[in-house]
Homo-oligomer: A and B are copies of this chain.
Amino acid sequence: MSRSRDAVHEILRRSESFRSAQDIFTEMRSVGAKIGLTTVYRALQALNDDGRVDVLRTDDGEAVYRACASGVHHHHLVCRACGRTVEVAGPDVERWAEAIGAEHGFVEITHTVEVFGTCADCSGPR
């Protein structure tokens, strides 16, 4: 798994928002790349397994992917309108999650945190 995996990774690196498999597939086809939808799905899950892309689920259950610049644990601030995404750190949140878990006797704590809003460009000069 290499040729197309890199192609998919490249698409994601060029994008600053989360993208769906179908979305990526359509873009690649529209610029003449000959690739199958199945391969896009496989590339995405390989990239995710390797920790090279982040994935999250939209409200309607679609998986969307992003090649994040940061290799370490972080979260996302996503514009509801244009999808633009900023990677953010939240040391306080990390500590809070651990603490709240411990407080109730839970171990091996993990968490998911996403922040949504409307970015400056999209809320715009009214």
Q: How many copies does the complex hold?
A: 2
Name the CB-closest residue of B to A57.
B57
Do A118 and B113 form a contact, CB below 8 Å, given A61-B57, A61-B61, A96-B93? no
Shortest Cβ distance from A6 into chain B, in angstroms? 26
Beyond the given pairs A79-B106, A111-B113, 18 more chain A to chain B contacts, judged by CB atoms under 8 angstroms and listed by A's residue number, are: A61-B63, A77-B100, A80-B108, A92-B93, A93-B96, A97-B115, A106-B119, A106-B123, A107-B117, A107-B123, A108-B118, A109-B116, A110-B115, A110-B116, A111-B116, A112-B112, A112-B114, A113-B113
Residues of A within 8 A of B (CB): 57, 59, 61-63, 77, 79-80, 86, 88, 90, 92-93, 96-97, 100-101, 104-120, 123
